Amino acid sequence: MNKYKCIRVLNVVDTQRNFTKIAPLLSAMHKSDQFYPLLAYVGQHYDEISSVFFDDLKIKKPDILLGCTGGSHAEYTAKIMLAFEPILLKNSIDLIVVEGDVNATLACSLVASKLHVPIAHIEAGLRSFDHKMPKEINRILTDKISDYLFTTCEDAKQNLLKEGFSSDKIFFVGNLMIDTLYNIWPKTTSAPPIHTKSCCPNKYGLITLHYPLNIDIPNNFHAILKALDTIQKELPLIWPIHPNVRNAMKIQGIEQWIQSMKNLTFLDPLSYIDNLSLMKNAHVVITDSGSIQEETTALGVPCLTVRQNTEHSVTITQGTNQLVGIDTDGILKGFYNISKTPFQPTPPSLWDGQTAPRIVKILKEHCFPIIPHKEPKVLL
């Protein structure tokens, strides 16, 4: 071990999407002569997603598996805290890095804060202003106890300043996920990665839906599907579908209706590279995912966000994103608006593929100006 790599950074990841955010930062830290980066995965088995994310993104195997699985928000958060506390107690960690707004982000931050381990929050300051969303609570509380706040856009910085945060804690660095998108771009195909006659570039729509509010409430799900039924008669639709969504369709007794949609093609969940290939070749993406709102903005692909609000407002003001709600008429209006009003997106500032090096530079110069020249005590 290089004796100068003495800044021990524990990067915590939970959801698959957060791997796309941490990958470039891990790479930049490994290239540095000062950082000793570690990766903690909150789930039980990384093998089940290794071919989809670890292999595609060239991420090393996690140093730590916390082995936590679901339950209610309270149960899952408590499980993570109980599993994470011994890691920090037994190991000398100089900084933890948490991503986004999932339960693990808040849980690990709470543990670190009480043990006086500094916290860096990636994607700080994003706000939907909807306190009924668990992720909004996670975002707000994580920001409150973090020592370093790295933001993806100017809007996020302004949100933090309005909430009374010191500007000394806020660092506008850009979007790590766009670093990954640019890194992976050469590996994507110039045509959709599935073989159907109707799936030609710019001649199909891509669907990604997973929010419980949209899927588990029958009235909402039916309103969305009614819009999709109309759209698929004019444009073939492709839907890489999660098993939980299939199960919701079965429970709600709507499988026969969906099967009658002749231009709607279901796929099993795809690798990151294949999903990106589908996205960049789509005429429109219909989603409730925050990450995909950002990726479509970077790709210049029209996006219809099936939600009442979004924490990624920059994708609307500068990107290709329309917030269309969860009612049939709103979704259809957004769809027809694509051809009536061509999008002219302006890439958000610092979404240039260089966010990870900026974060590492800031950590060196502002967070650790004095390097602890000692052998890292990492037991794990």
pLDDT in tens, 207-239: 999 999 999 999 999 999 999 999 999 999 999
Predicted confidence at residue 59, as pLDDT, reads: 84
Judge residue 243's burial from the number of C-beta atoms within 10 Å of its C-beta, 0-12 exposed, 13-18 middle, 19 or more buried.
exposed
* 7-175+351-367 and 187-340, same CATH topology: yes
pLDDT at 351 over 70: yes
Predicted confidence at residue 372, as pLDDT, reads: 58
Predicted confidence at residue 368, as pLDDT, reads: 83
The pLDDT of 43-49, averaged and rounded, is 63
Q: What are phi and psi of 264, to 5 degrees?
A: -110, 115
* Partners of residue 99 on adjacent β-strands: 122
What is the 3-state secondary structure of the chain?
Answer: CCCCCCEEEEEEECCHHHHHHHHHHHHHHHHCCCEEEEEEECCCCCHHHHHHHHHHHCCCCCCEECCCCCCCHHHHHHHHHHHHHHHHHHCCCCEEEEECCCHHHHHHHHHHHHCCCCEEEECCCCCCCCCCCHHHHHHHHHHHHCCEEEECCHHHHHHHHHCCCCHHHEEECCCHHHHHHHHHHHHCCCCCCCCCCCCCCCCCEEEECCCHHHHCCHHHHHHHHHHHHHHHCCCCEEEECCHHHHHHHHHCCCHHHHHCCCCEEEECCCCHHHHHHHHHCCCEEEECCHHHHHHHHHHCCCEEECCCCCCCCHHHHCCCEEECCCCHHHHHHHHHHHHHCCCCCCCCCCCCCCHHHHHHHHHHHHHCCCCCCCCCCCCC
In this predicted model, which residue has the larger pLDDT, 15 or 126? 126
- Active-site residue flag, 210: yes
Question: In angstroms, rounded to a whole number, what is the distance separating the alpha carbons of residues 83 and 78?
Answer: 9
Contacts 24+ apart (CB under 8 A), 192-196: 192/238, 192/277, 192/278, 192/281, 193/270, 193/273, 193/274, 193/277, 193/278, 194/238, 194/265, 194/267, 194/278, 196/236, 196/265
Least confident segment among 25-29, 185-189, 205-209, 348-352 = 185-189
Least confident segment among 173-177, 333-337, 374-378 = 374-378
In terms of phi and psi (left: phi > 0; alpha: psi -120 to 50; beta: otherwise), the region of 62 is beta
Q: Domain ranges in the chain? A: 7-175+351-367, 187-340
Predicted confidence at residue 193, as pLDDT, reads: 60
Q: Which CATH number fits domain 187-340: 2.60.260.20, 3.60.15.10, 3.40.50.2000, 3.40.30.10?
A: 3.40.50.2000
On whether the CB atoms of residues 176 and 22 are closer than 8 A, the answer is: yes
pLDDT at 44 over 80: no
The pLDDT of 346-371, averaged and rounded, is 90
pLDDT at 2 over 90: no
Predicted confidence at residue 341, as pLDDT, reads: 74
pLDDT at 379 over 80: no
Question: In angstroms, rounded to a whole number, what is the distance separating the alpha carbons of residues 128 and 293?
Answer: 14
CA 276 to chain centre: 14
Residue 186: pLDDT band with limits 50, 70, 90: confident
Of 30, 210, 283, 373, the active-site residue reads 210
pLDDT tens per residue across span 114-126: 999 999 999 999 9
Residue 6: pLDDT band with limits 50, 70, 90: confident
Predicted confidence at residue 1, as pLDDT, reads: 41
Lookup: tokens for 365: 């110069």
Predicted confidence at residue 271, as pLDDT, reads: 83
Predicted confidence at residue 47, as pLDDT, reads: 58
Residue 371: pLDDT band with limits 50, 70, 90: low
pLDDT tens per residue across span 150-184: 999 999 999 999 999 999 999 999 999 999 999 98
Full-model pTM: 0.92
In this predicted model, which residue has the larger pLDDT, 30 or 370? 30
| Dihedral angle of Cα 349, 353, 354, 359, to the nearest 10 degrees | 90
pLDDT at 4 over 60: no
- Most confident segment among 39-48, 276-285, 362-371: 276-285
Residue 39: pLDDT band with limits 50, 70, 90: very high
Question: In angstroms, rounded to a whole number, what is the distance separating the alpha carbons of residues 168 and 261?
Answer: 54
The pLDDT of 62-74, averaged and rounded, is 91
pLDDT at 196 over 60: no
Predicted confidence at residue 292, as pLDDT, reads: 96
Question: In angstroms, rounded to a whole number, what is the distance separating the alpha carbons of residues 189 and 191?
Answer: 5
Lookup: tokens for 105: 């982000």
Query: What is the CATH T-level fold of the domain 7-175+351-367, as seen in this structure?
Result: Rossmann fold (3.40.50)
pLDDT at 3 over 50: no
For residues 219-240, b (16+ Cβ closer than 10 Å) or e, as one string?
ebbebbbbbbbebbeebbbbbb
